[in-house]
Amino acid sequence: MKTLIAAVANAEDTDGDGQVSVEEIILKDTSGVSVNSATLQAAININDSSRVLLLPEGVTPSQVLTQLEWLNQLVPLNSLRIALASNDTLPEASVSLSIEPVSLLEAAVVAASGGGSYTDDSVDFVAASALLSLVTPDKSVVSSSDLRQMLNTYTNAEGVTFKGAVAERLSVTVSQLNDALTGGGNFDADAQDVDLDIVSGMLKVSLLDLQDALHTNTNSEGVTNFSAVADVLGVSSGDLADALVLSRVETVNTLHFVQGLNTMSLPNKPRVPYTARSLAETIGDVTLIIRLNKTTQRFEVYVPAIETDDGFTLHRGEGYIINTTVAKSHAFTGKVWVDAPPVSDSSGVLPAPSSGLGLSTWAFVLAGKLPVELQRDVPMTFRLTDALTGLVLMESRSDDLDNPVAELSGNNFKFSMVDQLKRSVVNLGDEFKLEVFDTEDRLIGVGDLRIDPNDLSHAFKVTDVSYNELPELSRLLPNYPNPFNPETWIPFEINYGSEVEISIYDISGKLVRTIDLGFQHAGIYTTRDRAAYWDGKSELGESVASGIYFYSISAKGDKLSFTSTRQMVILK
């Protein structure tokens, strides 16, 4: 103390202001080394009982030093003590210690004093920690509890949070921290006319990773740090820029459709994905769209005239069969596919390869709606046969998901007939029979159809299926009319499939006529188009005389048989 007093007494007022400043005092330590003015001022302040201390009560410089080390600020303890004693505020002390940003010293003091409580109830800590985990340099995971604790540690008693310190501890930027706490940024791809599918495809990164990188590095004002995005994705900034630019480019490709069947794929990517319905409406005069589902290897059919929904969604790289009733061209506008788009000729018109008008109908659809009696949630078998040859063209169970040509959904059915070698699958005048069977192989529905010119033009045929009611018992019913002359109908019911034969006898029991009906499915045969018919003639073709006759039925199945006899009268 005596040395200090002597130094003050010997100091010269070099600036002539009538006072001696700290800078004008020359003081040497015990080693003879001059003490700098900051150290001297610190010594004076420490002994000034009226001075307001910069550290809270109970907090020591050593504790603050430890916190500074956590914030990657390395300063000597003695320098810290001098800075705290020689400056009036913590920011001034930070400047003297070359701590940047200056708030880190105050944050260290707050942490050394035990911190406070971060009270922003709007923060989703789970979501915020997930966003921060995406941007840490070493991909380290930031847990929600760690984030909450860190925010509390660097929040003072007045509720002020030193986010620079929190960001430093988490190895992220303050902007990234703020974005995470406010829910992150939101990269608006639509507003920027960017197709993220194209970008992810070009960069060969997942769409989810691309979205995360863009959202994480977009601040709350909508400004995106694309350099940081590239770093997160592990790509160059140039490649990212090229992908973003290309994803904004739109192309126009015109396809020419001939009247009849055409094959096409989408030449570019539409802003809104096409459904079968929207594509048909866009092209116009479309009666049929068929695609082969690559996953299930099943043909899927959309017939605009009978559908009530939007149908399947069209995708890149898939081929579609389109039937149009008139020749036309349509310009498709959209973004480029990631893969190279089709190359057009100088006119910009792309052909849609077609069968051409008058050539074979190599794709055709049979469709219809089941009657209400068959709208049941039980397996059924559908069988399509050539009515002239009896050849079975298609057979499918309603619960068979592997059948490539049948679509059986709800109350509707659609059968696709496609020859990929483009040979005709139907011709004018062809006749088909559609039969529906239950699980016991009993006929429960039937439809007959004939191909006409309009069907060929539209490449589809809608047919009605009538319900074949199954009786509980087999019965031979009264003929009608009765008495009759010269013809009558003999109705019957059988509840199993069988070979049916009607035998007619006279009053003496002599066989007059045998009517072989062949195999008949279980059903009710009572109408004139289904009942057995007798024209009143014998086996020799002679008209029989008036009188009483008997008719018998014989129905022989694999396991069951049925016989019955009734009486009828011919009255001439």
> Is residue 135 pLDDT above 80, yes or no?
no
Q: Give 305's contacts (C-beta < 8 A, 6+ positions apart).
A: 287, 458, 460, 462
| CA-only gyration radius of the chain, Å | 46
Say which CATH topology domain 475-570 has: Immunoglobulin-like (2.60.40)
Task: Please indicate whether the domains covering 363-467 and 475-570 agree at the CATH topology level.
Answer: yes
CATH of domain 363-467: 2.60.40.10
User: Quick one: average pLDDT of 367-385?
Assistant: 85
Q: For the segment 521-562, what is each residue's pLDDT rounded down to a tens digit? A: 999 999 999 999 999 999 999 999 999 999 999 999 988 999
> Is residue 498 pLDDT above 70, yes or no?
yes
> Is residue 301 pLDDT above 80, yes or no?
yes
> Is residue 357 pLDDT above 50, yes or no?
no
Residue boundaries of the structural domains of the chain: 1-35, 125-181, 196-246, 251-339, 363-467, 475-570
**Residue type at 372?**
V
pLDDT (0 to 100) of residue 340: 42
Helices (H), 192-302: 196-203, 207-216, 226-233, 237-246, 276-283
User: Quick one: average pLDDT of 405-422?
Assistant: 78
Q: For the segment 320-352, what is each residue's pLDDT rounded down to a tens digit? A: 999 999 999 999 999 888 754 444 443 444 445
Mean pLDDT of the chain: 84
Least confident segment among 214-228, 246-260, 264-278, 427-441: 214-228
Q: For the segment 85-97, what is each residue's pLDDT rounded down to a tens digit? A: 888 889 988 988 8
8 Å CB contact between 314 and 276: yes
